[in-house]
Structure 1
Amino acid sequence: MKIERRKSRNAEVFTSSLNDIMFFLLMFFLIIATMVTPSAVRVTLPNASSAKNVTIKKAITIAITADSRYFINNKEVSFDQMEPQLAQLLEKKQENEEINVILQADKSLNLQQVIDVINIGYKLDVKMVLFAKKE
């Protein structure tokens, strides 16, 4: 006579503890990855007699509003103080810097006001660019 088992045995693997282990490993690697600085390739550059220094270009913005208010880098100044303020900013220029002045003038202004600001730029020997809006 053959006796059958009523309960069949199933093999199970309990993975509930593996979730905790994987979480801690993930946290460990994330924390360590933020602390490690990426290693860059270090190269000693050769010398050259014809090498040039790289110039860094910076810009100073001058804005003239419709009601004849003057701004240097979003700071309001009077017209009389414009030349000393601009000269002070240009004195801070380092050896390898090139400073350009961007002039933004309202279209309703008198042309003479714009020319006066451009003359200040010529006196201080700085490159000046007049911005215009494309139609």
Structure 2
Amino acid sequence: MAIKRKKRFHAGVESSSMSDIMFFLLLFFLIISTLANPNVIQVPLPDAKDTGQTNVQHLTLTVTSDKKYYLDKEEVTPENLEVRLLQETKLRKDETVVIRPAYDLDVQELIDLLQLGLKHQLKFVIATKAG
């Protein structure tokens, strides 16, 4: 009498460790994406002893060393700066503008921007880095 064995070989791929890896990758990318800076224009900011932080996204005016102006990420000509600045502040209904000047920018350029803010009663904040 022949005895048959009921054990058959079944090929399979265990996927429980794969779901753990995918969870950790998802968590990693979520954390990194929240830490990403929305301002892609890199400007070396002036140093300050104490910097205040804000969680609100205000309109950002970046001025590079070669005197190029950017409203958020969009480049604006100096002649068109005043008009675009007023349009954006009215569109957002927020009169606060964060100025990100390069650390080697002339003081006169910064004063001209501040005068522009005073003329139109805008609130300007100068961004710095902790030094």
Normalised by the shorter chain, which TM-score bucket?
A: 0.5 to 0.7
Among the aligned pairs, what percent are the same residue? 25
Contact 1:58 1:100 (C-alpha < 8 Å) held by counterparts? no
SS of the residue corresponding to residue 68 of structure 1 reads: coil
Q: Deviations over 1:50-76 (max 9, x none)?
A: xxxxxxx65100000011100011110
Q: Does residue 106 of the first structure (1) align with residue 109 of the second (2)?
A: no
Q: How many residues align?
A: 76
CA distance in 2 between partners of 1:62 and 1:86 (Å) = 9
Distance 1:93 1:125 in 2: 15
CA distance in 2, matches of 1:102, 1:91: 15
Structure 1 or 2, whichever has the larger Rg, is: 1
CA distance in structure 1 between the partners assigned to 2:90 and 2:59 by the alignment: 13
Structure with the larger RCO, 1 or 2 (CA within 8 Å, 6+ apart)? 2
CA RMSD of aligned residues (A): 1.5
**Other-structure match for 1:59:** 58
The gaps in structure 2 that reach 5 residues or longer are 1-55
Q: What's the counterpart of residue 18 of structure 1?
A: none
In structure 2, distance between residues paired with 1:86 and 1:115: 16
User: Is the aligned partner of 1:116 residue 2:108?
Assistant: no
Answer yes or no: is 1:91 the counterpart of 2:90: yes
Q: Which secondary structure does the structure 1 equivalent of 2:80 belong to?
A: helix
Question: Does residue 74 of the first structure (1) align with residue 73 of the second (2)?
Answer: yes
Within 5 Å, which residues of 2 pair with 1:16-31?
A: none
Deviation at 1:90, TM superposition (A): 2.2
2:53 matched residue in structure 1: none
Report the TM-score, using the length of structure 1 for normalisation: 0.52
Q: Quick one: which amino acid aligns to residue 117 of structure 2?
A: G
